[in-house]
Structure formats: C-alpha cells, structure tokens
Chain A
C-alpha cells in the first residue's frame, strides 16, 4: 500500500445550535485552517471527499452547497458519501493509493440541531417495513443494547457514570467540546432515565460542527513542519441490519475491522496508546474496548462524542483527534473508530502511527 498520512486536522467548536452559518460558511474557515496548518494551498489539493446527510440538513441535495467553500473551479476531482465523513476519509485514502495525486482534503459537516425532533428522523434509518413502523425513539435501540450489556454483566450503571465523568473531565481541556466539566458519579446516578439504563448524560449530545482532515502521500506527507500521523491500517465492516438477530453486546463488525486493519498495519489496537471511539452512548465504550481489543489505551482523551456529537462529522473528528495525539508527539500509535447506523451496525477502524512502516 502507498504510505498515506494525516498531515493536519481542524474542527470548528461543536455548538448546540449554530444559527448563523450555512454549510459553506461553517466549513470554509476550517478548510482554511487545515490547509494552513499543513502548509498547503487549495491548489495543492488533488482530491476532495466529504460526508454529510440530507436528513440532518433538512434539504435534498444539501451537500452541493458545501462545495462553494472548496473552490471547485477549475473543476476538481471530488466525491461525497451520504454518511459520516470517516467514510469519506476511507474513500480519499483509497483514492490516494492510485498514485494519481498526493493530497486529499476530507471534510465533514454535521448539524444535529437543525431537526426539531430527531425522533421524527432517526427511525427512517430502519427497515421501512418491519422496524420503522414501530417508531422507536432515537435512543431506544441503544437502550436495548445498554440493557443487554448490563444484563450480561459487561457493564453497570455505575460504570457508565464513571465513563461520563471521565469524558466530561477530559473535555475541559478540549476547546472544541460542546460539553465539559467536573461531575460526580452519584449526581449522575440520581438523574432520571431516558432509555433505561441510559440517562441523558449517557447520550452523546447533538451539536453542530465541521471538521477537516488533510491526507497526503509521497513528498507532500513529509513537507509540513511537525510529524505526520501515518495511516497504517483502515478497514470497515457491516453487520446484519436486524437488532433481534445480532448479539448487541458484541460489535462483531468492529472486531473484524480491527483485525483487518491490524493485518495492514503490522500492529493491533492493543498496542495503541490512545483510542478515539465513536461512542454515541456511554455503554458503547466498554463494548468497543473489548471488541477492538484495546490494551490500556487512553480512551477519548478529547472527551469523545459524550462531550459533543456533530452528527456526520463525529467519526471524522475521532480520526482527527487520534491523529493529533501523534502529530503532537503525545503518542506513537493510536486507533480511531467510527460508526454508522443504530447500535453499532457498521464500524470503521483506523490505525495510526508516528512511523510510516
């Protein structure tokens, strides 16, 4: 495989509701920041890939508006996934393997706040004949999964609260975090359920943000100051759709993606010092720690999604945050995870390292 690295990462602060900027205005300063940090110009970018989704934006063909921020003139090589932008990064990483170009800019825009009520929206992700008519509310499937975790002895409500305390505490050092602070386990446990055993703080808060990751191969990967974070392995896998058929306490697809990524990387997630996991719910942390085979990594030092979940940018932010730890010299190896769909049906794992091989 061609050696590809993350050479910069930028994000806008995740805010509960941005009512000032349209998509292009939201992402443009982040693109500028990421290119500046990489020492690159828009003309150096050979390929653009993005991720966003109409059902968060509330308009059909919404992503087209974002292209106004990219400078698509003269015409560019570009693609888009109607998914979390982590999958746009996967597409860009694939494209860079071809050797047609050396720099890819990946952006994700996620606005969880535009939908007045995500209970109207999220059931649309389900089988329209058998599941959507049940209209489970947005956290219902996660609640089932969390409950299964507790029943199986894989976690407890207290443990979930500890996860939240740790994440919100870590987020105090993250200027992009939407939510942060020092909270106490017992105070959290005193709150009511939203989908037992999940409480409001166990659910990653929806917010609005844009994120950009610049990938480079060849000489462009080595040019900027500071060290790049090499993408040593990247894989994603999907499970069957029906929650009743899956073992919700295990994310088999995450395990498989981690194993495939490890084959490519020559090391596994067990050796990562840092792990950024796309945990939309606190119970997914112990679940993924096991599924990915983490061996003592610091999990979600950014605070993770429990400190802010900008819809379709959330997974890309995980990759960016993991890469940042390496670029800052704080880690030699890191793992990032992204998810698509309810209850971890589809999972992406990315292994990053300070060394190219």
Chain B
C-alpha cells in the first residue's frame, strides 16, 4: 500500500470583525474634519497645541482645552517617498508621505503630499490641505485628500 502524501500546508483563514471606538478626543477632531475644519486643542499645563488632540495631554495628564480652528496650512517637517508596490496599497507609487508641521500646532500630522513631483518635495516646503468635495466630507481623516504645495511654482 502506498502511504498518502504528507500534508505540507493547511489554510487557516481568519476573519475577525471589530468595532473601532474613536474615543472622545479623536471624535472632536473627526467631527471638525466633517465640517471642513482642522481643530486643535491646547494643554493648559504645558501650553502645547495638539492636532489631532487627545482628551488628555500625554505629558501632563491634564484634560486639554476647548478646540479652536487652524487654517490647516503648514510646512513639510520631514518626508519619505514610497517607491514600491505592496498589497492593499491605496495609491500608485511613487508618492510622498510627510510629517507636516501645521501653523499653530506643536504636533505634526502625517499625510500624503501630492500635486508635486516627489523629487521636488523639500523639507520646509509650505503646503496646504486639499479637501474632498463638500458632499463627500465625513468624520474621517480622508476628508483631507492630500496636501499640496501652497506655491504652485514649487510643484
């Protein structure tokens, strides 16, 4: 009798569905985005301005103050160019992912920088948010489609 072929692999598909809770602090920011506003909050302890803001400053552990609006513009603080394809990728490489220091904020926002050739992106470049059309605004960071240079000549 011939022995059966040994099993070498077995598929173990997993599917798990979860509810994601944004939390009180994040929700304030997200609702701001739904209203086409970039909301920041200041910690009364260290006076640092957070965007997006948690409910509590993680240094001082104090509740941060009420939200106020920023114009959303800022400066590229540092960045990288994503150059290769991988599964589940939303955009076609190459594309720039940057840490953006918003005017008026002490934290940096991570977002895409587009409408500019990747090799022309510079640290210190001034950028502004590009929003989705009003009808598509939702309580999501995707309401800002990407950032682009403020001065089109930089592009």
Contact = CB atoms under 8 A, between A and B. Distances in A.
Interface of A: 17-22, 24-25, 28, 32, 42, 55, 57-59, 67-69, 71-73, 113-117, 120-121, 124, 128-129, 132-133
B16 A120 contact: yes
A114 B19 contact: yes
A132 B113 CA distance: 44
Nearest 8 A/B pairs, CB to CB:
A22-B23, A58-B18, A116-B17, A68-B58, A120-B16, A73-B59, A71-B61, A114-B18
A67 B61 CA distance: 11
Nearest to A118: B16
Interface string B88-102: 000000000000000
Nearest to A123: B14
Contacts of A28: 56, 61
25 contacts: A19-B19, A20-B23, A21-B21, A22-B26, A24-B54, A24-B56, A25-B54, A28-B61, A32-B61, A58-B18, A58-B19, A68-B54, A68-B56, A69-B58, A71-B58, A71-B60, A72-B58, A114-B18, A114-B19, A114-B21, A115-B16, A115-B18, A116-B18, A117-B17, A133-B10
Contact of A128 (B12, B24, B56, B58): B12
Interface string B2-24: 00000000101011111111111
B25 interface: yes
A124 B25 contact: no
A64 to B, nearest CB: 11
A120 B20 CA distance: 16
B55 interface: yes
B45 to A, nearest CB: 11
Interface in B43-59: 54-56, 58-59
Nearest to B12: A128
A67 B54 CA distance: 12
Interface size class of B (residues with CB under 8 A): 20 to 34
Interface of B: 10, 12, 14-26, 54-56, 58-61
A254 to B, nearest CB: 30
Nearest to B17: A116
Contacts of A19: 19, 21
Contacts of A133: 10, 12
Contacts of B17: 115-117, 120
A20 B25 CA distance: 10
Contacts of A120: 14-17
Contacts of B18: 57-59, 114-116
Given A116-B17, A120-B16, A21 B24 contact: yes
A119 to B, nearest CB: 10
Given A21-B23, A124-B14, 11 more contacts: A19-B21, A22-B24, A22-B26, A24-B54, A25-B54, A28-B56, A58-B20, A68-B56, A72-B58, A116-B17, A116-B18
Contacts of B26: 22
A234 to B, nearest CB: 30
A132 B25 contact: no
A124 B43 CA distance: 42
A129 B10 contact: yes
Contacts of B24: 20-22, 25
Given A114-B18, A128-B12, A25 B59 contact: no
A345 B39 CA distance: 49
